[in-house]
Amino acid sequence: MSQAADKHIHNPILETERLLLRKLRISDDRDIFEYAKNPEISRYVTWETHKSIEDARAFITWNLERYDKGEIGEWGIELKETGRIIGSIGFVELDTVNFCGTVGYALSKKYWGKGIMTEAVKRIIGFAFEEMGLNRVEAVHIPENEASGRVMQKAGMLYEGLLRQRMFAKGRFWDLKQYAIVKDDLR
């Protein structure tokens, strides 16, 4: 599995019809701040709404350090049409013992409902199975965020159940709905 993990560590550029999934750069700070300052974006995730451009730079710097250390990093979601970063996607957890990765993502509200995140998630799933050698890709969302669940379903993931009070974030416990796809599902 170490070879699979090494391939992920380099966060290669992944392409779809409308998107480039690529490593983040400091110059992406304004694009990230533009969407991450919206409280609707951060309402259902573990991170807080960005209050300044410095918050976006801190997120980018954290990812640059992870790339340099050979750890899991986020891909920026670049819209080919504009060349701008409109979101991020990555493995929030990678279990190399069990060949499983947990995907997390965020997208600018301006692009909700256009199939963009489904396109990105499908590409990450393909990369996970074909290049990383994973057997399972999973994702979770809080029950109030059904739009995220629809993304998971459209990307081919199956609902597996409710994880009661599974996550502690923003001062409280959250239930999570779990979805997953395994390599055999594609046969």
DSSP 55-99: HHHHHHHHHHHHHHHT---EEEEEETTTTEEEEEEEEEEEETTTT
Distances (CA, A) of 91 to 38, 68, 73: 23, 16, 7
Q: How far apart are CA 134 and CA 52, in angstroms?
A: 37
Q: Which residue has the higher pLDDT, 40 or 8?
A: 40
Distances (CA, A) of 155 to 12, 42, 141, 164, 185: 21, 22, 14, 24, 12
pLDDT at 9: 53
Tell me the average pLDDT of the chain.
93
The number of residues making up the chain comes to 187
Whether 50 has a pLDDT exceeding 90, the answer reads yes
- Report pLDDT digits (tens) over 101-129: 999 999 999 999 999 999 999 999 999 99
Q: How far apart are CA 79 and CA 116, in angstroms?
A: 9
Instruction: Provide φ and ψ at 120, rounded to 5°.
Output: -65, -45
Structural domains of the chain sorted by starting position, each given as residue range(s) with its CATH number in brackets:
2-186 (3.40.630.30)
Q: What is the pTM of this model?
A: 0.93
Could you give the 3-state DSSP secondary structure of residue 156? coil
pLDDT at 70: 82
Q: What angle do CA 80, 86, 88 make, to 5 degrees?
A: 105
pLDDT bin (cut points 50, 70, 90) of residue 8 is low
